[in-house]
Structure 1
């Protein structure tokens, strides 16, 4: 079995419940972990036998750049479902974590993080 992780990807997204969040946008950090069916004994240094993390990154980048959803949970679920659909033959499980760095909360914190799995 092979695990593929893309850690701490940084994007600027226009999601949020409040109109200001969608207009101005906000910085997001995203981690994605894929559990695969890939047999590492069969890869033989051939990209077609594994999952291209570059392609996964570009897919996530496109989703974040076009999304205008209200909830970060929805964005995470959209990413999870898209990756699972694209790699249905190779992936058994996907975990998506999103950290929203600039939350409209009157308080001091580094970020808010959500996680979805499926």
Structure 2
């Protein structure tokens, strides 16, 4: 099994349940991990997953404000699988820095794992 991942990709985005969060925006950290069977010809990108494309998909989804982070990780997961049908597993984790509910914490986190 081959694993390809983006780790700790930083975005400033306008996701949040409260309208003020979607206006002001916040800092987010994204991890995207996919697994696929080992390619027959590992020197050919066409048999693998291009991590530049993973970033491009993630960036496009992160640019669309959503109320729930659950929707964001779902959208990334669906678009990655559509672009790379060969993947057999994905995990998308999104962390929101200092969520505005008065607690002393670094991040809130939502993760979606899928076995295909």
Structure 2 CA distance for aligned equivalents of residues 81 and 13 of structure 1 = 20
Unaligned runs of 5+ in 1: none
User: When the two structures are superposed, what TM-score results if normalisation uses the length of structure 2?
Assistant: 0.92
Aligned-residue CA RMSD (Å):
1.2
Deviation at residue 60 of structure 1 after TM alignment: 0.5
Q: Which residue of 2 aligns with 1:92?
A: 88
Q: Which residue of 1 aligns with 2:46?
A: 48
Deviation at residue 102 of structure 1 after TM alignment: 2.7
Q: Which residue of 1 aligns with 2:61?
A: 63
Structure 2 CA distance for aligned equivalents of residues 22 and 5 of structure 1 = 28
Structure 2 CA distance for aligned equivalents of residues 93 and 61 of structure 1 = 20
Retained in 1: the 8 A contact 2:98–2:105?
Answer: no
Structure 2 CA distance for aligned equivalents of residues 73 and 15 of structure 1 = 10
Deviation at residue 107 of structure 1 after TM alignment: 1.5
Q: Does 1:112 align with 2:77?
A: no
Unaligned runs of 5+ in 2: none
Deviation at residue 78 of structure 1 after TM alignment: 0.9
Structure 2 CA distance for aligned equivalents of residues 76 and 31 of structure 1 = 10
Structure 1 CA distance for aligned equivalents of residues 58 and 98 of structure 2 = 20
Deviation at residue 46 of structure 1 after TM alignment: 2.1
Describe the superposition over 1:76-108 as per-residue Cα deviations: whole angstroms up to 9, x where unpaired: 1111111111111x1011101010003011110
User: When the two structures are superposed, what TM-score results if normalisation uses the length of structure 1?
Assistant: 0.90
Describe the superposition over 1:42-89 as per-residue Cα deviations: whole angstroms up to 9, x where unpaired: 21x222221110111011101101x2210111111111111111111x
